[in-house]
């Protein structure tokens, strides 16, 4: 008797059906039928066939070692495993890696832009001194003297000139326009005093109004503003 016939005979001798054998061994009925008919090619693998034979023979009370020894002597009972139709890992097309988001270059560019904006704000602010890219205005070292017209019989006397005296109590940026023309732009040092004259109008811009003491035609002007306050003051005739 072959392996399958002995398994079937032992089961039938005990009066058991395939369903009962499947429940007792926890092996699917289709696999038990394959064992009893020696259709080993229907089993998942040789390892499964060997394991099922051992469990089924033990459950039926047969000599499992003898059954396995006989089965091991017939290697042709299980056909060789067919090569898988799945492509090898070397045959698969390589999927390109997803490019990483350029966080570092973007962060560097953003930091550089913020730094540039900060420099521009400082240059254009009241403490930036002269504007970048513009040639400095000529500094007037002394008072601007406006010659008066020579009086002649029957002529009208000219209007007296405006005279502006400015003294700095600390470093302060100042710009002066006389009769619509810029005559000074720069940084006055503490204790430095300057005088400008004009015929019709004088205009003063400063980045720190509290740092200047101003006299117009010898008359003290009140405080132009608070500390750090940007002020434009105009006098005219």
pLDDT of amino acid 80: 42
Q: Is residue 141 in a domain? A: no
Q: Is residue 224 part of a domain?
A: yes
Residue 97 pLDDT: 56
Cβ atoms of 148 and 198 within 8 Å: the answer is no
SS3 184: strand
Would you say residue 107 lies in a domain?
no
Backbone φ and ψ of 89, nearest 5°:
-65, -25
CB-count exposure of residue 65 (10 Å: 0-12, 13-18, 19+): exposed
Distance separating alpha carbons of residues 7 and 105, to the nearest angstrom: 74
Helix (H) or strand (E) holding 165: strand 162-168
- The pLDDT assigned to 117 comes to 87
For the beta sheet containing 172-178, the strands, ordered from the edge strand earlier in sequence to the opposite edge, are 181-188, 172-178, 201-206, 231-236
Residue 29, pLDDT score: 94
Which residue, 38, 55, 77, sits at the end of a domain? 77
Q: Would you say residue 219 lies in a domain?
A: yes
Q: Is 204:168 a contact under the CB 8 Å cutoff?
A: no
CATH of the domain at 214: 2.60.40
What confidence score (pLDDT) does residue 81 get? Answer: 42
Distance CA 49, CA 77 (A): 10
Q: Is 66 domain-assigned? A: yes
Domain that holds residue 224: 162-236
What is the number of domains present in the chain? 2
Choosing from 47, 77, 107, the residue where a domain stops is 77
Q: What is the pLDDT at residue 116?
A: 85
Domain assignment of residue 148, yes or no = no
Q: Answer yes or no: is 33 within a domain.
A: yes
pLDDT means over runs of 10, the chain (237 residues): 88 92 93 90 89 91 88 56 45 52 75 81 56 46 44 52 93 93 93 94 92 92 86 91
Domain boundary among 51, 77, 103: 77
Examine residue 172 and state whether it is found in any structural domain, yes or no: yes
pLDDT value, residue 74: 61
Angle (nearest 5°) at CA 142 between 136 and 144 = 90
Give me the pLDDT at residue 195, please: 95
């Amino acid at each position: 008797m072959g392996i399958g016939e002995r398994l079937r005979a032992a089961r039938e001798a005990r009066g058991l059906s395939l369903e009962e054998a499947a429940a007792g061994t926890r092996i699917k009925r289709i696999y038990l039928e394959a064992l009893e008919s020696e259709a080993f090619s229907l089993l998942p693998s040789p390892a499964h066939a060997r394991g099922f034979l051992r469990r089924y023979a033990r459950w039926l009370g047969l000599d499992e070692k003898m059954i396995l020894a006989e089965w091991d002597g017939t290697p042709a009972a299980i056909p060789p495993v067919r090569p898988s139709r799945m492509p090898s890992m070397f045959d698969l097309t390589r999927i390109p890696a997803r490019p990483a988001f350029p966080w570092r270059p973007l962060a560097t560019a953003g930091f550089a832009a913020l730094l540039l904006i900060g420099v521009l704000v400082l240059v254009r602010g009241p403490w930036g001194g002269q504007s970048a890219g513009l040639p400095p205005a000529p500094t007037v070292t002394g008072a601007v003297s406006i010659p008066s017209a020579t009086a002649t019989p029957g002529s009208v006397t000219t209007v007296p000139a405006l005279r502006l005296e400015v003294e700095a109590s600390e470093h302060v940026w100042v710009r002066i326009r006389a009769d619509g023309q810029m005559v000074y732009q720069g940084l006055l040092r503490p204790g430095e005093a300057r005088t400008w004259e004009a015929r019709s109008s004088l205009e003063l811009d400063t980045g720190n109004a509290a740092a200047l003491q101003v006299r117009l035609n010898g008359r003290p002007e009140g405080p132009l503003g608070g500390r750090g306050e940007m002020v434009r003051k105009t006098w005219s005739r």
